[in-house]
Amino acid sequence: MLIDKTSSKPGKQTTSSGQDKQPEQVLLTDMDINIERLHRFLGGGEDVVCRTLQHRSFDNTRYAILYIDGIVEGTTINTLLLSLLDDANNSYTNEKSSEGAGLYHHLTEQSIAIGKLSEVSTIEQAGYSILEGSTVLVVDGSLRAIVMDTTGGKTRAVEEPSSQTVIRGPKSGFTENLRTNTSLIRRIIKSPDIRFDYKMIGRQTRTNVAVVYLEGIAEQEIVNEVHRRLDKIDIDGVLESGYVEEFIQDRAFTPFPLLQNTERPDAASAALLEGQVVVMVSGTPFVLIAPVTFAKFFQSSEDYYQRYDIATFLRIIRMASFFISMLLPSLYIAITTFHQEMLPTSLLISLAAQREGIPFPALLEAFLMEITFEILREAGVRMPRIIGPAISIVGALVLGQAAVQAGIISAAMVIVVSFTAIASFVIPAVNMGIAARLIRFVLMILAGTFGLFGIMSGLMILLAHLCGLRSFGKPYMMPFSPFVPSNLKDVLIRVPWWAMRKRPLNISNDSNVVREGAGQKPSPDQEGA
Amino acid sequence: MKPAISTLQTVALIQSAVTPTLVLAVPSVMVTIAHHDAWISGVIATIAGMIMALGIALICRANKGQLFLEWMESSFGRPIGVGIGLFIGIYYFNSFCVIVRTFADFISDIVLDSTPLFMLTAIMVVVAAFTVMQGIEAIARSSFLVLILIMLIVPISVFVLYTDIDFKRLIPLFDTSPVRLAIASFPPIGLLSEVAVLLLINPYMKKPASVVKAGLLGTFLGSSQLVLVILLSLTIFGQQLVPFMSYAFVNVMSIVEVGEFLERIEIFTVSVWVLTMYIKLAVFLFAAVHCIFHSLRLRSERHTVIGLSLLAIVTSASEWPQDMESTFMTTLVNMPVLLITNILLPILIALGLLVTRRKRKQQGGMRKP
Amino acid sequence: MRLRFKSICCAMLLLLFASLTTGCWNRIELNEVAITSATGIDWDGNSWIVSYQVVIPAAISSVMGGSGGSGPKSPIIVYSTKGKTIRDAIMHSYSESPRKLFFAHNRVVVIGEKALQHGVNELIDVYFRNSSTRETVSVLATPGTARRILEQFMQLQAISGAGMKEIILSEMKNTSILPNIPVYQLAMEVTGDAKSAVVPEIFVSGTEDTSSLDSFGSTSIPSKLKLGRLAVLKDDKMIGWMSRKESLGASYLRDSVKQSFVVVPCEDDKGKKGYDTIQILKSSTKVIPKLKSNQLTFTAEVDVTGSLLESTCSQDLYKPGIIQLLEQGGQLQVSALLQEAWKRGQQLNTDIFGAAEKTHRKYPKQWKTWSKNWDQVFKQAPLETKVKFRMARMGLSNKSFDYLMEKREK
């Protein structure tokens, strides 16, 4: 078993972050001092396990394994110990080299039953490896220590994603474990071109981050840019990919998400196949996808599993719902308080009849209802699952019906607000839905002040803002403006797979865009030929 | 990274820099002068506009990728370059204020009659300033999206108006004397000369060589909308009624009645028009900022935008206390200014370029032997 | 950096407050408007009397929803104001109405005969100058006062203003005797080459008013709103009425016939007389001016397609010649209508048929001289009619019922 000398460089990150300026402590020949120092480095908690052994063949040389209980895989540790003990009781006569070094070689090459090994020569390196869940083996008399990858312990199993569900399609979702997540991708894309570049972010959390891309398909410049931006992050802790997202997005002040997130391995793989770069952060099932365009947020992975006609229809519905959830309340305010002439007479009369006796102006009414709904929604997310039905009863009956019957809110406003709410749930990407939610309030104020003219002014600001946005240098409104006609095949409509011969231009590597063979359109006489 | 705008986006920019003012008050003025042959004047104006666009584009072709003012300075020396820059900058700033005022008057005539004019001009300038701060690229991209929207709206409008159209109202052709036709084509030609903004936009183009195509197409799209509005208003209302209407295209859309539910869609049309108007404002403010920023060698573009916008809000709201004065300003005073800056100045520049080039050639020739 | 952020925040907040506190310049809530469904205009000799039919939304919805508790409420209310100008009169309404009158949903404007004789220019000006009024409002004339028309209730339609518009539209679609004249069309005709226009008449048939909800307690109501004749305007002033028959002819000449009918007298083999009713499915008219030896003549080419609706003559429609007979009868009827209308137009000295425009288009040069005394030219111009009448269908039965009865008797 060869020792991979390059795979783990825990020391590098600390030096680059510039926080840990102490001289590195080198491992000494005296094992006890090493163990003592390691204990001190790790803070000596109860969960730090140190097991000392003696080897019969090598002059009873002592050696020890150190690990932190709970973050290592129990069964692996057991097999490791079994193999070590078994080995320690054997006697090898042909070994002649000096005790420490000889044992070290013997152990690495002949006795450890662990797949991934590496070696370290400083206390820090050894200590950080232990913190990551590896087991460190120190041998008395050796200046190096063996790091064995025993990462594991209790993690959540691969389950169906909770935030992005599909009717048809793979049911597995990412977990909090980075290794599991990379393996999920590996299982889908078995190409030798796939690259996983690892980094570590966070002074204290030392979170593993993987940058995943397909070499030759992803644009190298974007990959480099992702690396550059990730390397710049200097923060105590990264608990979720949201931390990373806020550091690496192109512009700080925008309601729109400039990176996509998903907890679906198939969606991440699809992104990779289209030349996007995926950033995985250990500790969260949500991976980031970049670069991304506005239209991407309206695509669901299911679009590609269902037939293209229904997928197209659903996409248009989603786009429409986005605009409804952004615009409907403000349009209602604008039309009923500024442009009543636009309503059909009978509708106007019935709206006017509903409004008789309502004490608030339409703007205030809409604000009240929208804020009520936002409170209800937040309550629904935060409260314990068991009291869920209570909230819905109170929300629907007390607030909805009673407010209308008491003549505080007009029935039409309740309809508008509920429709807006439902429409906002249709958008597959939650973060895009949030953008619509925030913009809605601004537009409502504009509509209440200037009517449709105000809405149009707000939309113009929005349009200019959207057109000025970039995601990793790629224009956010891409297939529309700048106009890339061939990308339109997978934006508002989704054409059948055999017609999408090229990857989206300008996102991926433009010298390599063809992704499928020509002439695959099914035709009745295909069989005969 | 230098911003790059595509040819299509340039077309859209030119289109939206020209159209909004063109379809507003001009059609009824033209019908007043040329009666039911006003559309012929429109066609004349289109041709004249395209010739102007061609001329401007040809001047642009002489530029080898430098910013307009850098180019001017390198060809004529710094003092003349700065002079041209300031002159154009002030012209664009002035037109920006005039346009803001015209639009504010229009909005206040159509929908928001009791909203203070100051608020209207303020919100318009704020939106334009915000758009300009996003950069010329964002303006160009937005204008392209707006153009798509117009391309969708125009056929729908014609379709819903179809039953009211009576082409017989245009007969007999050439009933009006050619002199009147020519006079009627003057106002649109003046406004079409605003295509000169191409001089400033050209250096930002991805393919500067396609500027001719972009200029011609943009002008054509813009003025064909003028002809369309004239045709629609004439075929629907007839020549006697159109002169009564201040904004013919609004009246045209207001008579649409499709069933009981689709009525009074002029507000929607106006809303789409508002978007093109904002693009136009952004283009003009951009031009003003660009010229003043570069010729005075200012340090922060953002602060230039803010300063000019504040000045513009005040100017457009209080320079002309009455609507009538601003109308007078836009129709009469502005006309010579338009022609001087957009036609005379480019001609002078072109002549100057020819002269300097010949001089250089001569100098080059002198050195050779 | 922090300072800048703070100042941006401050500016945003100020803007927000500014727009929230002062944001009521043009805003008007739905319960602050009085939705006007019809307007009436009268002239009492020196001032305008404008009447408004205002909808009471609450009453309407209880009529429609049936949930109103305390007895029937009138869904509309009518009141009038007086002023030197029309707008002046409307302005006076602010001193007596708790809500702002809202005209965008106004369906009809009814003009009293006196006001029509005074002139409609001012009304048209009001409609084109203001963005709150719509130009598609239908104009109706009435022989009495407009206010009385507005006061009438209508069967089946709670808002009589909207009902009047529905009547005129359905009348135009099905019988085409009277045209629907929106304000913009009236303006076009008044300003057109001939300076003549028409306005359909609406009147109360019956002596009593149906202005109380009590009338709806019984199956028949004491009076009804009915469309009648056609008012003819010359230079924006009314100069006379055209009978229904004449106005049907005028409709043919104006090419505004969509569907109509003619009743053709017929005679069977035994000399028994009866009538065939023919529905006109399609009709198109071309009025062509012709200049023959300095005399202007007009030819009306009418192309009519009809279908038999009812026949009281006992005849076998399969017999050859019968259809030709029917078609001939129709032809005669239609050309008589045309001639009658034309004569009446000449008699009133108004060219409401658009002949002036057509002449202008065809003879632009001569028009310059004619336009000065078009009335004289028009008065002397004879009308020729060429009617093409085609029977397209005979209905579901090809023999009249009378014919069958006779067969059985034999």
CB A260 within 8 A of CB A289: yes
Q: Indicate whether B267 pLDDT > 90.
A: no
Could you tell me if residue B70 is inside a domain? yes
Q: How far off is chain B from C188, nearest CA to CA, in Å?
A: 6
Contacts C23 to B, Cβ<8 Å: none
Whole-number average pLDDT of chain B = 84
C-alpha A248/C-alpha A330 separation (Å) is: 33
Of the candidates C25, C360, C362, which has its C-beta nearest B114's C-beta? Answer: C25
Burial C381-405 (b: 16+ CB within 10 A, else e): bebebebebebeebeeeebbebbee
Q: Indicate whether B171 pLDDT > 60.
A: yes
Contact C25 B172 (CB under 8 A): no
Give the structural domain span for B290: 7-367
Contact A349 C61 (CB under 8 A): yes
Give one word for C120, left, alpha or beta, with left for phi > 0 and alpha for psi -120 to 50.
alpha
Of the candidates A338, A348, A352, which has its C-beta nearest C26's C-beta? Answer: A338
Give the A:C interface size as CB pairs under 8 Å.
79
Contact C104 A445 (CB under 8 A): no
A365 burial via Cβ count (<10 Å: 0-12, 13-18, 19+): buried
| B259 vs C: CB within 8 A | no
Q: How far off is chain C from B152, nearest CA to CA, in Å?
A: 25
C-alpha B321/C-alpha A115 separation (Å) is: 85
| B278 vs A: CB within 8 A | yes
A-chain residue closest to B8, CA distance: A483
Q: Indicate whether C30 pLDDT > 70.
A: yes
Radius of gyration of chain C (CA): 27
Q: Indicate whether A424 pLDDT > 60.
A: yes
| A451 vs B: CB within 8 A | yes
| C68 vs A: CB within 8 A | no
* Interface with C, mutate which of A345, A416, A442 (most C CBs under 10 A): A345
C-alpha C118/C-alpha C44 separation (Å) is: 10
Each residue of C295-338: pLDDT tens digit? Answer: 888 999 999 998 888 877 767 777 777 788 888 888 888 889 89
Residue B233 vs residues B158, B159, C124: alpha-carbon distances, Å: 11, 14, 17
Contact B9 A338 (CB under 8 A): no
In A235-306 the beta strands, taken as DSSP E runs, fall at 260-262, 277-281, 287-290
CB C305 within 8 A of CB C390: yes
C-alpha C309/C-alpha C311 separation (Å) is: 7
Contacts C131 to B, Cβ<8 Å: 109-111, 113, 250
Q: What is the pLDDT of residue B331?
A: 63
Interval A60-83 mean pLDDT:
88
**A170 token code pair:** 């793979």
Least confident stretch, A125-139, A469-483, B244-258, C95-109: B244-258
Chain A residues in contact with chain C using a Cβ-Cβ cutoff of 8 Å = 336-338, 340-341, 345, 348-358, 361-363, 445-446, 448-449, 451
Chains that touch B (3 or more CB pairs under 8 A): A, C
What is the β-pairing status of strands A474-475 and B257-258? Answer: unpaired
The band of C373, judged by pLDDT with boundaries at 50, 70 and 90, is confident
The answer for residues whose C-beta is within 8 angstroms of residue C195's C-beta and 6 or more apart is C234, C235, C236
The answer for residues whose C-beta is within 8 angstroms of residue A382's C-beta and 6 or more apart is none
C-chain residue closest to A334, CA distance: C27
Using DSSP, state whether C197 is helix, strand or coil.
Answer: strand
Report which DSSP code applies to A490. B
| A356 vs B: CB within 8 A | no
Contact B138 A460 (CB under 8 A): no
Query: What's the angle, vertex CA C213, arms to CA C207 and CA C217, rounded to 5?
Result: 90
CA dihedral A35, A40, A41, A44 (to 10 degrees): 90
Q: How far off is chain B from A346, nearest CA to CA, in Å?
A: 9
The band of B127, judged by pLDDT with boundaries at 50, 70 and 90, is very high
Least confident stretch, B116-125, B328-337, C177-186, C276-285: B328-337
Burial B156-183 (b: 16+ CB within 10 A, else e): ebeeebeebeeeebbeeeebbeeebbee
| C219 vs B: CB within 8 A | no
C-alpha A137/C-alpha C299 separation (Å) is: 114
Q: What is the pLDDT of residue A9?
A: 42
Distance of CA A296 to the CA centre of its chain: 15
Give pTM, 2 decimals. Answer: 0.88
Contact B267 A339 (CB under 8 A): yes
The band of A341, judged by pLDDT with boundaries at 50, 70 and 90, is confident
Of the candidates A452, A461, A468, which has its C-beta nearest B127's C-beta? Answer: A461
Radius of gyration of chain A (CA): 30
Backbone angles phi, psi at C242, to 5 degrees: -115, 140
Could you tell me if residue B1 is inside a domain? no
Domains of chain C, first to last: 30-242 (no CATH), 245-410 (3.30.300.210)
Could you tell me if residue B2 is inside a domain? no
Q: How far off is chain B from C365, nearest CA to CA, in Å?
A: 9
Q: How far off is chain B from C336, nearest CA to CA, in Å?
A: 28
Of the candidates A345, A456, A467, which has its C-beta nearest B138's C-beta? Answer: A467
Of the candidates B111, B134, B145, which has its C-beta nearest A481's C-beta? Answer: B145
* A511 vs C114 pLDDT, higher one: C114
ipTM for this prediction: 0.91
Contact B114 C184 (CB under 8 A): no
> What is the CATH number for B243?
1.10.4160.10
Interface of B with C in 144-163 (CB under 8 A): none
| C99 vs A: CB within 8 A | no
The band of A2, judged by pLDDT with boundaries at 50, 70 and 90, is very low
Query: What's the angle, vertex CA C349, arms to CA C140 and CA C356, rounded to 5?
Result: 85
Could you tell me if residue B276 is inside a domain? yes
Q: How far off is chain A from C211, nearest CA to CA, in Å?
A: 21
Each residue of A150-177: pLDDT tens digit? Answer: 888 788 888 898 888 888 889 999 999 8
Residues constituting chain B: 369
Chains that touch A (3 or more CB pairs under 8 A): B, C
Contacts B148 to A, Cβ<8 Å: 480
Q: What is the pLDDT of residue A420?
A: 93
Q: What is the pLDDT of residue C67?
A: 44
Q: Give the residue extent of every domain in chain A.
A: 10-148, 178-292, 308-475
Each residue of A309-336: pLDDT tens digit? Answer: 999 999 999 999 999 999 999 999 999 9
* A58 vs A7 pLDDT, higher one: A58
Q: What is the pLDDT of residue A191?
A: 92
**C122 token code pair:** 């001012």
Contact B251 C128 (CB under 8 A): yes
| A349 vs B: CB within 8 A | no
The band of A500, judged by pLDDT with boundaries at 50, 70 and 90, is confident
C-alpha A484/C-alpha A505 separation (Å) is: 8
Of the candidates B112, B127, B141, which has its C-beta nearest A482's C-beta? Answer: B141
- The number of distinct structural domains making up chain B is 1
Distance of CA C46 to the CA centre of its chain: 28
Interface of C with B in 80-109 (CB under 8 A): 104
The band of A16, judged by pLDDT with boundaries at 50, 70 and 90, is very low
Could you tell me if residue B29 is inside a domain? yes
DSSP A17-79: HT---SPPPBP-S-HHHHHHHHHHHHT--TTEEEEEEEETTTTTEEEEEEEETTSB-HHHHHH
Could you tell me if residue B309 is inside a domain? yes
* Interface with A, mutate which of B113, B123, B253, B280 (most A CBs under 10 A): B123
Of the candidates B8, B268, B278, which has its C-beta nearest A460's C-beta? Answer: B278
Could you tell me if residue B329 is inside a domain? yes
Q: How far off is chain C from A349, nearest CA to CA, in Å?
A: 5
C-alpha A456/C-alpha B278 separation (Å) is: 10
The band of A5, judged by pLDDT with boundaries at 50, 70 and 90, is very low
Contact C30 A338 (CB under 8 A): no
C-alpha C3/C-alpha A326 separation (Å) is: 32
Contacts A455 to B, Cβ<8 Å: 271
Q: Which residue has the tokens 């997202």?
A: A245
Contacts C57 to A, Cβ<8 Å: 349-350, 352-353, 356
Q: What is the pLDDT of residue B129?
A: 92
Contact C37 A345 (CB under 8 A): yes
Could you tell me if residue B187 is inside a domain? yes
**C336 token code pair:** 């008589």
